[in-house]
Structure 1
Amino acid sequence: MGRTAAILIARLIFAGVFAMAATFKFAGMADTAAYIAAAGFPVSLLLAWLAAIFEVTLVLAFLSGAFFSEAALLAAAYVIFLALSFHGPSRWQANQAEFGFFVDHFTFFAGLLYAAVHGPGDVLAIRRGLVGRVAETRV
């Protein structure tokens, strides 16, 4: 019972973090695009929309359990990309809080990797996915 509750809470936390991120992007797409452009990326408005849609897709995967391991791996790569692109070493001298943001991304990364390996659990999970099928057939 405790294991099931922990897994469901973790899935809700993952979904909640990405849902908040997507909500902020949709609520202020121009601001998100400006932030992306300030980091040096071209076509920032397109990237902002793609990021928001990607985050919604992650939310659906974390809530449903469908393609959970794949979503967790993609989310882990996305989180490391965000850490390096928006909170990396080039930003630490101007604002030391950026170092904290950078490190926080790595703890989230670790949790996503752990989730990718262990899957969505057995309760309230649509058991579909490429990685999940491989893990389920292992004895």
Structure 2
Amino acid sequence: METQSTWQTVAILIARLIFAAMFAMGVAFKLMDMGATAGYIAAAGFPFPLLLAWCAAILETLLVIAFLTGAFMTPLALIGAVYVVFLGFAFHGPSHWAGNQAEFGAFMSHFPFAAGLLYAAVHGPGSVLALKQGWPGRA
């Protein structure tokens, strides 16, 4: 197995911190006003908006923990990628573009985020500050 150079180790740790920070901000905003989050979900036409808001907060919390610890990072990063693409379509998709072109930019921003999550899922948490937990046969 090839060892990571110092710059690769630092880059992986920074990337993990960025992902953790992005999801932590999402959790913080949800917890500051879960009602507003539920309202946003309801406005998009989804049933059980408060339940879905709490599910989103729990998933995002698990993603924060995974990126900070490296534990179960591969499966959670895969789930996170699907989640991020879903959010893009559900809340910023084509039906929103005619009324506000800025929605197209919000929609597009979900794809590089999803790509980064897929890359993280494939390459894992790195060799430093990473609990080696994950799917059987994969650290």
What TM-score, normalized to structure 1? Answer: 0.94
Secondary structure of the corresponding residue to residue 18 of structure 1 = helix
Q: How far has the Cα of 1:53 moved from its partner? A: 1.0
Q: How does 1:101-116 map to 2 (within 5 A)?
A: 101-116=106-121
Look up the match of 1:81: 86
1:61 aligns with 2:69: no
The amino acid that maps onto 1:16 is A
What TM-score, normalized to structure 2? Answer: 0.94
Deviations 1:10-38 (A, max 9, x none): 00000000000000000010000000000
Look up the match of 2:26: 21
Percent of aligned positions that are identical: 62
| Root mean square deviation of aligned Cα | 0.9
Q: 1:36 aligns with which of 17, 34, 41?
A: 41
Q: How does 1:82-97 map to 2 (within 5 A)?
A: 82-97=87-102
Structure whose residues are more often helix by fraction: 1
Report the Cα distance in structure 1 between the residues aligned to 2:125 and 2:34, rounded to whole angstroms: 31
Look up the match of 1:9: 14
Look up the match of 1:71: 76
- Alignment length (residue pairs): 134
The amino acid that maps onto 1:49 is W
Look up the match of 2:56: 51
The amino acid that maps onto 1:3 is Q
Deviations 1:74-123 (A, max 9, x none): 10000000001000000001111110011100010110111100000000
